[in-house]
Amino acid sequence: MGDPIVRQDRQLAQVEWLVSRAPVAYEAACAFMEERVAAIAAGRAAELVWLLEHPPIYTAGTSAKPEDLLEPGRFPVYRTGRGGQYTYHGPGQRVGYVMLDVAHRFGGVRAFVSALETTIIEALAQLGVAARTRPGEVGVWVRGTREGAPVHDKIAAIGVRLRRWVSYHGFSVNVAPDLEHFAGIVPCGIRGAGVTSLARLGFRPSMDEVDEALRAALERRVGPMRDLGGASLAA
């Protein structure tokens, strides 16, 4: 990773940007995040935003309820230290692991989560999709109709954890996943709400286009990021 980075108060190094092209196993991604967050907190590594896809899995956040896992044998289930409840990860979904100095860049957790929501909303707008937040809920939603009634469907989930004020885990945006895979859980513990994707809404951007939109929106908050290319940091 190069020379150690000497961090000074509110003088942070440039954030690094990495996109993994091949699917990354969830356990390997979590192990890498643990090591990288410790290195960031110790001033030995730069902050990092890492975009990837996982094989089909369910993950359970710290607020997950057993009754919300409807089909426990459908996919592997991983307990995780991030906030939130159950969610699905799989092909066609862009996962963003965000390892940033929250205290210095955002001042607090609520501001950080709000910044992630706004980043996703701006990225989706660039792709032609009008999205929004919902009072009392974390994540990003789109408004639509089903059977003639207005509905709010979730298009992006957020679940983060902090260690020594450095964040990890992050967000997921449904680009073109198999939405039937969400049927094995109550997504984010919200009963009666649906899940949607860019593909279901009739938008077919490439994953590269999604990544570019996310990067542009995030750079408005953290400044220009340094591209690490398409290397894989975890097998």
Domain boundaries, the chain: 16-227
Tell me the residue ranges of DSSP E strands in the chain: 16-19, 48-52, 57-60, 77-79, 86-89, 93-99, 140-146, 149-163, 166-174, 194-195, 226-227
The rounded mean pLDDT for the chain is: 90
Q: Per residue in 213-227, pLDDT tens?
A: 999 999 999 999 999
In this predicted structure, the answer to whether residue 150 has a pLDDT above a threshold of 90 is no
Contacts of 87 (CB under 8 A, 6+ apart): 58, 59, 61, 157, 159, 172, 185, 187, 188
CA angle 78, 103, 224 (to 5 degrees): 90
Kind and range of the H or E element at 121? Answer: helix 109-126
The predicted model gives 71-81 an average pLDDT of 91
Number of C-beta neighbours around residue 194 at 10 A: 18
Amino acid at 100: L
CA 118 – CA 4 distance, rounded (Å)? 32
Query: Predicted confidence band at 117 (pLDDT cuts at 50, 70, 90)?
Result: very high
Q: Indicate the range of 46-60, 152-166, 189-203, 207-221 predicted with least confidence.
A: 189-203
Q: In CATH, which superfamily holds the domain spanning 16-227?
A: Bira Bifunctional Protein; Domain 2 (3.30.930.10)
In this predicted structure, the answer to whether residue 30 has a pLDDT above a threshold of 60 is yes
In the prediction, which pLDDT does 187 show? 80
pTM for this entry: 0.89
Pairing status of strand 57-60 against strand 48-52: unpaired
In this predicted structure, the answer to whether residue 173 has a pLDDT above a threshold of 60 is yes
Q: Indicate the range of 48-52, 60-64, 137-141, 180-184 predicted with least confidence.
A: 60-64
The predicted model gives 129-148 an average pLDDT of 89
Tell me the residue ranges of DSSP E strands in 55-135: 57-60, 77-79, 86-89, 93-99
Query: Predicted confidence band at 186 (pLDDT cuts at 50, 70, 90)?
Result: confident
Q: What are phi and psi of 212, to 5 degrees?
A: -65, -40
Nearest CA among 70, 73, 51 for reference residue 233: 51
Pick the more confident residue, 170 or 2. 170
DSSP state of 199: T
Query: Predicted confidence band at 3 (pLDDT cuts at 50, 70, 90)?
Result: very low
Query: Predicted confidence band at 1 (pLDDT cuts at 50, 70, 90)?
Result: very low
Q: Which residues are catalytic?
A: 188
Measure CA of the first residue to CA of the last residue in the chain; give whole Å: 18
Tell me the residue ranges of DSSP E strands in 46-148: 48-52, 57-60, 77-79, 86-89, 93-99, 140-146
